[in-house]
Structures are given as structure tokens and as C-alpha cells.
Amino acid sequence: MMTPLRISRRTIDALVKVIIGDRVDVNGSIASYRSVAKLQESFAEDLSSAVPATLQRESRSKDTAVWLRSLNGTNDPRRVIEAAVRPADYEGSEYLIEDAVAYLNPFLAHDASKMIATFLVESYLAQCDRGLLSGPSPPHNVEKASGGAA
């Protein structure tokens, strides 16, 4: 059974930037822009999450943060984090899933969690180079780190 995941305000802020496709630094965003409709679809349909009573529909970033805070301390943040780095959302875009993972990992490590590749990215790329695999980046899963920060 999965342990509920509680993430910090800073991790929520970082997730919001990835989820909505906002700028993460001076170089710009690391994920595609998501409209209000796409965000609602992601939370309500893809994640089967009920609309929070506190949702004000003010802005993409505020609404996404409200949604994440309402899920905090449950198993749902884990599903949201995994959805934020879903390979299908990066296919055919200018963004790399590895950039999103690298951006989120320090925040998750601080929360004693870490994002790990289901199998090593290097191994995946090596197999692609040898013609053994083709297709999207490997999926990523969120696991609770053992013994504190990763």
C-alpha cells in the first residue's frame, strides 16, 4: 500500500510551473503551455480528482496550486507528479522530459521523495542507439525516499 505523500509549498510551486508550462528560470519553460480547459481536463478526467471547494478560477497558476494543495497528504500528489512528466505530453514538442525531471528532483529530494526512472535513462538511450528500442522517453515514477532526503 502506498504511503500518502505530503509535499512542501516550494514543491507545489515548482510543480505548478511544470504543469502549466510556465517559466522556471530566465531561459523559459520546460513544458508545454496548458490552457485552463486542459488543466481542468487533466485534474478532473485524467486524475479523477474532484474540483476543490476553494477553487476560485482566478488564474492557471493559482487554480493549479489550489488543486495541488487540496490533494496534498494523500496518494494523489504522487499521481499528479507522474502526470506532470508523462512521456506522451512531451512527444513532438520542443521540451525534454529529462529537463522536467531534473528540475523537480531537488524539490522532491527536499521533501524526502525522489523521482526515479523506471529504468536508467542512459540505458534507454544506449538501447536506442543500438536500434533495440525506439519511441518516447522512459516513464518516470515517484517513490518515497528511504531514510530522509535523497
**Could you tell me if residue 150 is inside a domain?**
no
CB atoms inside a 10 Å sphere around CB 68: 24
pLDDT at 9: 92
**Could you tell me if residue 17 is inside a domain?**
yes
More confident residue, 7 or 145: 7
What is the count of structural domains for the chain? 1
DSSP-assigned letter for residue 34 = -
CA atoms within 13 Å, Cβ hemisphere of 95: 26
CB atoms inside a 10 Å sphere around CB 107: 19
**Could you tell me if residue 59 is inside a domain?**
yes
pLDDT at 141: 59
Spatial separation of the C-alpha atoms in residues 62 and 83, rounded to whole Å: 19
pLDDT at 77: 73
**Could you tell me if residue 87 is inside a domain?**
yes
**Could you tell me if residue 2 is inside a domain?**
no
Closest C-alpha to 5, from 115, 117, 98? 115
**For residue 18, pLDDT beyond 90:** yes
Range of the domain at 94: 9-144
pLDDT at 50: 72
Length reported for the chain: 150
* Residue 16 CB burial class (10 angstroms; 0-12, 13-18, ≥19): buried
pLDDT tens per residue, range 81-117: 887 888 888 889 999 988 888 898 888 877 765 555 4
Closest C-alpha to 14, from 92, 87, 113? 113
**Could you tell me if residue 149 is inside a domain?**
no
**For residue 119, pLDDT beyond 50:** no
**For residue 131, pLDDT beyond 70:** no
**Could you tell me if residue 1 is inside a domain?**
no
